Amino acid sequence: MVNYIDATFDEVANSVFTLYKDNPIIKAFGISPVVADPSVLTPAQSHDGKWHLFCHALLGIYSFVSDDGINWQKDQRVVPCAMRPDCKYIDGVYYMYYERTESLAKKAVSFLTGKKWFSEIYLTTSTDLKTWSEPKLIIGNTRPYMSDDRGVSISNPFLAGEKGNYRLYFSAGLTFIKDCGFSEPTYISYAESDNLESGFTPIETPIIAPDKDSKYLNLCSGCIKVYKLNDCYIALQNGIYRDGNKSHSTIMLLKSTDGIHFDFVKVFLTPTVTEGKHKNWMKQYVYACNLVKHDGELRLYFNARNVSDNIRGREHIGVLCGERASQ
């Protein structure tokens, strides 16, 4: 089963998670002010027994490799004009779903001329993490909630389910965040198919929408990552919200019996100021994440942003390590 974690709800909810002392573990590199949206495969989920991480920077999606899941080496750029990857290893094949965007040049022209954003979900596959297939469209603009006066946005794919019954969660729509100067996803929805490479049909109405009465969801929905545990489903969602004059993002833990209807459980990770050289790196936002379990240890990989300002803002990737609470 895709996204199955051998744990109970109580184990995840009651584990004590601690920020790794030398966070961030992957810092923004090159000309990019951001490195974001980590998708992580443990040694048991890869063909070579190594850790693999995929994330996006300004020029596309990049792969990283590690022996311990902490110290990472940049491998290659997997695909340009792309962001927010989700990579799964299934029956000897790597399936990477991602948000395909316009080229950097086209995005610059669009920004200067006032044209609208346009992105859809694509898939590329590989058997060795070196050679990747020609990308193919998986989810296009077929529902009203995917577009508005800011453009078309279908983003943050995340695959779950099992053979013959796959579910691809995704974000859709755009909400402009004034103090950031850019937009974040408005809704969360999903599509289902019996085939990993085609046939995903989005539902007609999103399962999560902004809620002005919610402390952590009063601006927009961000993204969601859904996991099957031994006794239920859980989700980790980073809602975007306003608190005073500033926007923030916090990762929430949700619970479900069917992977569709979710209830808020608690805040899982919130913006904070840490000690050391990079004390402000997660000061205002904690964003997209990926929960894994390896050798009995739960780890949450995530990206964070220091400040909303477009010029000073930087995004890096960190990790939260969990220990089961003593009985």
pLDDT greater than 80 at residue 77: yes
pLDDT greater than 70 at residue 115: no
pLDDT greater than 60 at residue 296: yes
Write down the mean pLDDT value for the chain.
94
pLDDT greater than 70 at residue 114: no
- pLDDT tens-digit profile of 194-220? 999 999 999 999 999 999 999 999 999
pLDDT greater than 80 at residue 326: no
Q: Which CATH number fits domain 9-323: 3.40.50.1970, 1.10.10.60, 3.40.50.720, 2.115.10.20?
A: 2.115.10.20
**CA separation for the pair 62, 47 (Å, rounded):** 18
Higher pLDDT, 105 or 228: 228
List phi, psi (to 5°) of 274. -100, 175
Neighbours of 320 (CB within 10 A): 21
For 218, the enclosing helix (H) or strand (E) is: none
Percentage of the chain exceeding pLDDT 90: 90
Weakest mean pLDDT among 45-49, 253-257, 322-326: 322-326
3-state helix, strand, coil in the chain (%, to 5): 5, 55, 40
Mean pLDDT of 288-316: 96
Mean pLDDT of 138-150: 96
pLDDT computed for residue 244 by the predictor: 87
pTM over 0.75: yes
Kindly state the tokens that stand for 16: 């004590």
The gap between the terminal CA atoms of the chain, to the nearest Å, is 30
Mean pLDDT of 45-74: 97
Q: How confident is the model at residue 324 (pLDDT cuts 50, 70, 90)?
A: confident
- pLDDT tens-digit profile of 217-232? 999 999 999 999 999 9
Contact 55, 26 (CB under 8 A): yes
- pLDDT tens-digit profile of 260-278? 999 999 999 999 998 777 8
Contact 203, 191 (CB under 8 A): yes
**CA separation for the pair 121, 123 (Å, rounded):** 7
**CA separation for the pair 16, 6 (Å, rounded):** 17
Of the candidates 175, 269, 227, 240, the one whose C-alpha atom is nearest the C-alpha of residue 8 is 227
Q: How confident is the model at residue 279 (pLDDT cuts 50, 70, 90)?
A: confident
Neighbours of 253 (CB within 10 A): 19
Strand partners, 317: 26, 303
Residue ranges covered by each domain of the chain: 9-323
Contacts of 221 (CB under 8 A, 6+ apart): 171, 185, 186, 187, 188, 206, 208, 209, 210, 237, 239, 240
**CA separation for the pair 94, 90 (Å, rounded):** 6
Contact 175, 186 (CB under 8 A): yes
**CA separation for the pair 236, 310 (Å, rounded):** 26
Q: How confident is the model at residue 113 (pLDDT cuts 50, 70, 90)?
A: low
